[in-house]
Structure 1
Amino acid sequence: MEKVRFLVIGVGGMGREHVRRLLQVPEAEIVGLADPSEASIDQVKQRFPELVNVAVYTDYREAIAQANADAAIIVSPHSMHFEQGIACLDGGLHVLMEKPFVDGSENAERLIAHAASVNKHLAVAYQRHLIGPYIYIHDLIRGGELGTINYICAYQAQSWLKGTTGTWRQNPALSCGGQLNDSGSHLLDVVLWVTGLEPESVTAVIDNRGSQVDIDSAVTIRFVGGAIATFNVVGSSSIGWHEDVSIHGDKGTVLFRNNQIFVAKEGQREIVEVTDELPASSDPNRDFVDLVLGRVSEAAAPSSCGLRIARVTEAAWKSAANGSQLIRL
């Protein structure tokens, strides 16, 4: 195989971002676009004139059968991911799934098992696994520079409540959850990835702020080995975006401040900004092409990451619904 032929299922805002990335990968070819929205199809073709002759489908099942694709990228509303994922795998396609993977951990387990049974690749588009600053932090921690991790404080603020009003993201039947299940999913995932810690228990306080889905979440995780993490996911913020992650080990500290990194290694009492050249960044689409072509043995964010975050998110919702009860994983 010299090129990977892609079917893109869902070409709304995030779908168009996946299209943009794929068009930058020489070994990728888009052979089909599936979306029931004529407006979304028109927008993606207007933005990317090179797709003018690409086949269009209103039914993803028809697309799977007719597009002659090798792989699919699923960027539809979250509740549709599981059904579409199964159909793509049954149709002989490798699958790259937008976060937060599928609806619930049970479906995640079923989808992972099904992908294994048909010998197809299945990955999640958690892009932070491929972004330079986070790769730097991952390597710093995994290299033992900070020693044993004791405490993590992760904070994300976004005007998510206002920005998603009137969209499917605040409809639980389609979104399967709110900010914690959406942008907050990335925050949970990247902390678990860079630290390699295994969650043991979860407690949470959540406020929907008048919406049908979670908006503001305060989540505490106790990890195997004793480390503690607090996740502060603020969807009612007035600001567009801000993200901080502080990680403290018994030998050092690393602070991520909106793409700036500060480190204090063993013996240093003051943090110092990292000005070294950071690892090169990539994206989930390029990484998935490399996976399908056999250039890498595992996706940067394998499907197991989606399952892990589904379990943590479910535990947070359950804890909050039961008066911040401790939920063991």
Structure 2
Amino acid sequence: MTNVRFLVIGVGGMGRSHLSQLLKVSDAQIVGLVDSSQASVDAAKSRFETLADVKTYADYRVALKEADADAAVIVTPHSQHFEQGMACLDAGLHVLMEKPFVSGSENARAMIQRAQEVNRHLAVAYQRHTEGPYGYLRKLIQSGELGEIRFISAYQAQHWLNATRGSWRQDPELSCGGQLNDSGSHLLDVVLWSTGLKPLEVYASIDNRGTGVDIDSAVTVRFEGGAICTWSVVGSASIRWHEDVSFHGERGTALYRNGKLWVAKGQDADLVEVPAKELPPTRTPVEDFVDLLLGRRHEAAATAESGYQVARLTEAAWQSSVTGLPVRF
């Protein structure tokens, strides 16, 4: 394989973001656009003139039979990911899945198993795995420079409640969950991925704010080994976006503050901002996936296993919120 031929399944807002990324990768070729909404297809072709002659399909099953593709990027409502992903794998395609992977940990494990059976790559578009600040954080933590991680605080605020009102994201039949399962999925993932810690017990308090899905979530997890993490996912915020993550170790501290990074190494050390030149280069999940398929890397930046672990944690948080009791893994 010298280049990778892609089907893009779902060309709405996030789908067009992936199209933009794909068009910047010289080793990627878009051979089909799939969407049941003609308006979304028209919007995609209007935005990207180079896609004018690309074949379009209203049904992904027809596309799988007709398009000569190597891989698929799936960017549809969450409830459709499992069926579409399994069909793509069975058709011999590698799959890059938009977060939060698939609905439920059982489906996640089943899809991972199928990918192994058919010998195809399966990855999740958790872009923080390819972003410089978070790549730096993970390497710092994994190197042991901060010592044993003892406490983590992760905070995300977004005007998600109002921004998604009336859309499929607030329809539980399509979204399979609210803010915790959507943007909040990134926040859960980045802590698990950066630290490698394994949850032992989960306690959560969640408010739907009058909708059919979770909006505001306070999640506390105790990990194996004794570390504690608090996740605050605020979907009813008035601001567009803010994200903070703090890692406190026995020998140091690292603070991510909405794109900037501060680190203190040693006891009583002052926090020092990490200059941009020291951060790993930021890439896109699409670039990473193309490199994986062309043999330039041995593992996806965000493996399907990451999606499975986030699904398990999300399910436990929902269960705890309903029962009012901690859930043990």
Q: Does the pair score TM above 0.5?
A: yes
TM-score (norm 2): 0.99
Shift of 1:268: 3.8
1:59-98 matches, within 5 Å, as 59-98=59-98
Aligned to 1:292: 293
Aligned to 2:214: 214
Aligned to 1:170: 170
- Residues 199-241 of structure 1 show CA distances to partners (whole Å, capped at 9, x for unaligned) of 1111100000011000000000111111000000000000000
Aligned to 2:306: 305
Instruction: Give distance in 2, aligned partners of 1:224 and 1:55.
Output: 50
- Residues 48-92 of structure 1 show CA distances to partners (whole Å, capped at 9, x for unaligned) of 000000000000000111111000000000000000001001111
Tell me the amino acid that sits aligned with residue 318 of structure 2: W
Instruction: Give distance in 2, aligned partners of 1:149 and 1:322.
Output: 29
Instruction: Give distance in 1, aligned partners of 2:109 and 2:193.
Output: 19
Aligned-residue identity in percent: 63
Task: Find out whether 1:321 has 2:322 as its counterpart.
Answer: yes
- Residues 217-272 of structure 1 show CA distances to partners (whole Å, capped at 9, x for unaligned) of 00001111110000000000000000010110000000000011111101343212
Aligned to 2:234: 234
Tell me the amino acid that sits aligned with residue 65 of structure 1: K
Residue 218 of structure 1 aligns to a residue whose secondary structure is: strand
Residue 310 of structure 2 aligns to a residue whose secondary structure is: helix
1:108-147 matches, within 5 Å, as 108-147=108-147
Greater Cα shift, 156-165 or 135-144: 135-144
Q: Which runs of 5+ in 2 are unaligned?
A: none
Instruction: Give distance in 2, aligned partners of 1:38 and 1:166.
Output: 20
Residue 282 of structure 1 aligns to a residue whose secondary structure is: coil
Shift of 1:276: 5.2
- Runs ≥4 in structure 1, deviation > 6 angstroms? none
Instruction: Give distance in 2, aligned partners of 1:281 and 1:275.
Output: 14
Aligned to 2:39: 39
Instruction: Give distance in 1, aligned partners of 2:268 and 2:85.
Output: 49
Count of equivalent residues? 328
- Residues 101-121 of structure 1 show CA distances to partners (whole Å, capped at 9, x for unaligned) of 001000001111011101100
1:250-265 matches, within 5 Å, as 250-265=250-265
Q: Which runs of 5+ in 1 are unaligned?
A: none
Tell me the amino acid that sits aligned with residue 83 of structure 1: E
Give the alignment's Cα RMSD to 1 decimal: 0.7
- Residues 163-204 of structure 1 show CA distances to partners (whole Å, capped at 9, x for unaligned) of 000000000000000000000000000111111111111110
Shift of 1:273: 1.5
Instruction: Give distance in 2, aligned partners of 1:202 and 1:68.
Output: 45
Tell me the amino acid that sits aligned with residue 183 of structure 1: S
Instruction: Give distance in 2, aligned partners of 1:177 and 1:9.
Output: 21
Tell me the amino acid that sits aligned with residue 281 of structure 2: A
TM-score (norm 1): 0.99
Residue 142 of structure 1 aligns to a residue whose secondary structure is: helix
Aligned to 1:280: 281
